[in-house]
Amino acid sequence: MRNGLIGIVGVSVLASAMVTVGCSGSSSPGGAGGSSNPGNTTGSTGNGGSSGVGGNTGTNKCTSVTPCGGNVVGTWNVTTSCLTVSGDYNVALGGLGCATVPATGTLQTTGSLIANTDGTYTDNTTTTGTINFPLAPNCLSISSVLTDCARMANIFSALGWASATCADTNGQCNCTATANQSGGLGLISSVASTNGAYATSGNTLTIDDSLKYSYCVSGSNNTLTVTPQLGALSGTIVMQRENTTMPGTGGAPGTGGAPATGGAPATGGKSSTGGVAATGGQQGNTGGKTGVGGAQTGGVTNAGGAFTGGVTGVGGAATGGKSGVGGAATGGTGTKAGTGGMTSATGGISATGGSGTTLKGPCDYYAEGNTPCVVAHSTVRTLVGSYTGALYQVKRASDSTLKDIPVGAGGFADSSVQDTFCTGTTCTITKVYDQTGHGNFVEAETPDSTVGGHAGMTAAKATQEALTLSGHKVYSLYTTSSQAYWRDGSKSGMPLGSAPQGIYMVTSGKHFNTGCCYDYGNGETTRTYVAGPSMDAVYFGSCTIWGTGAGSGPWIMADMEDGMTAGTSGKNNNNPSQTATYITAIEKNNGTTKWALKGADATTGKLSTYYEGSLPAGKNPMKKQGSVVLGSGGDCCYSNNTASAGTFYEGAIVSGYPSDATEDAIQANIIAAGYGK
């Protein structure tokens, strides 16, 4: 699906802003005289009274402020904000047919901002307000697909707005968008956060490498002014450092307090006694439990022999490692058949001497079903039993050094390598490697990557989401708007034209949006819109512009270009909302006559079929071009940006139309991986 033509440097339309202005709130009465200081400190004199503020003006007036920089460390409470929307603001990130629309409105920011000495922040602000704007006839399309006025409202949620409505009035489409955003400090943004990292340079404060403000710290005041970018938003947010008093203006000065009389000399503080000496930490566990009768213990049961294999057994005891399941586990003197797993497990792992090294992943089951993987990506585990290479690559912000993250124990990502490498700085994920041997790794579509990307496209934060799989700490590929990954696989095994294709991915029902389009699959090689069934991908999100499932979403749908489909035309009530933390999403298409959608909780239960039947009108035959897309539509993101967001843990693209039995084995293997356990 097609996305916006112009990037917003990681910020939604209202980060397009200009002018340096301040706000003056209602004035208060004149100040009172100071009081004498009690004599509790030697030689202290009373402070003069706080200067009062002139009479109440009854208005909230913006005045000019000159950025001056300064130290922002501290807790800052918002005292006044005046943010005005007036003029053209950019909507290209939403993929509309027009780049800008004329908007008017106001925003208000309340709350506090905590800036820590280590460069991290906590944003406890809330920004509310409304804007109004008309949509001209040339605006009424999303991703080059004509859309009626009422359906246009859905896309604005992906740009950070809490809600939006659009209605046709006498042939004119008029829209209202409402803000109620936590974090973001006054900028309505799809990437607004309540915590993260900040940096200052000169007179500019940058939050999370995307939201920018010019600012001035003067005494106890911190005035943040939106950096000029693309127009429409102007104004400032005025904050006061906590536990300080803002000097008043215009009131009668308070009279000086009576001088303090000499107090008793301060006595020395109580001497501190030495702290209790720290004792050595408890020794780490060594080895596994002693096997009884040769049976291995301490292992996690895995279906179908998935991802296990004990370490060296001692006298029948498995020390460390996890027991192989489905195959015979032999350790030292005694033997006992592996337990658990599917009753029809194929080729269970044989852990000989407690040191099994053979793993079995989804692509091994696909291969057994004669539908081999041509692409296999994951940041959390191996998907091919024999794979021993790196899973993904990270880039360190402090020196731009790259590091491959390898496979660790049990076939899971060795996150300790990333943690060590990224200590004291931040890292992004630049590549996710292909485990099939076809070389179809995907790379962040950024201006400085080898695949290139539009201005404003960034790589995903490497530590945005940590989770556990069977007790192993790993990290997901957690993308927000203006983040996506791509590779041209048309000459390296990707299905082309009407060739059959299957896809699965594990994603999350807790991180998604309405943007177009969080896809994983087969897209255009030019990264530009090509009408017709030029792509074939599984989609996950809550976009309602073309098709929906039951409830409010998110849903598993298919993107074959020119709009997503939930299975039937319009709404498919057999396609439920997916709210579990970990979701298995499956789409398959034989390219000429039929296709299907399936899904399940990735931690338990069997797959459900939401649709299987004829291809939609105009999609027979398919005309796939063979690029690999992850996190965006097929026509992104070389000359445009994506508004989509989502989480990717693992996935594969296969050649052929997988059988139901094969896909059932994939789901069992995913469950055995132990997401969230």
Catalytic residues: 561, 635
Question: To 10 degrees, the CA torsion angle through 546, 551, 552, 557?
Answer: -40
Listed in sequence order, the residues at least 6 apart from 272 whose beta carbon sits closer than 8 Å to its beta carbon are none
Q: Report d(CA 365, CA 158) in Å as an integer.
A: 37
H or E segment at 190? none
Pairing of strands 100-110, 477-479: unpaired
Cβ 203 vs Cβ 217: under 8 Å:
no
Nearest to 610 by CA among 577, 638, 643: 577
Listed in sequence order, the residues at least 6 apart from 448 whose beta carbon sits closer than 8 Å to its beta carbon are none
210 φψ region: left (φ > 0), alpha (ψ -120 to 50), beta (else):
alpha
Q: Is the peptide bond between 621 and the residue preceding it cis, with omega within 30 degrees of 0?
A: yes
Give the Cβ contact number of residue 136 at 10 Å: 13
Pairing of strands 519-523, 485-488: unpaired
H or E segment at 336? strand 334-337
Distance, first Cα to last Cα, the chain: 35
Nearest to 486 by CA among 430, 540, 406, 542: 430
Give the Cβ contact number of residue 550 at 10 Å: 15
Q: Report d(CA 7, CA 95) in Å as an integer.
A: 11
Q: For the chain, how are helix, strand and coil distributed in percent, rounded to 5? A: 10, 35, 55
H or E segment at 178? strand 172-182
Q: Report d(CA 522, CA 149) in Å as an integer.
A: 30
- What is the chain's length? 677
Listed in sequence order, the residues at least 6 apart from 616 whose beta carbon sits closer than 8 Å to its beta carbon are 560, 565, 569
Q: Is the peptide bond between 554 and the residue preceding it cis, with omega within 30 degrees of 0?
A: yes
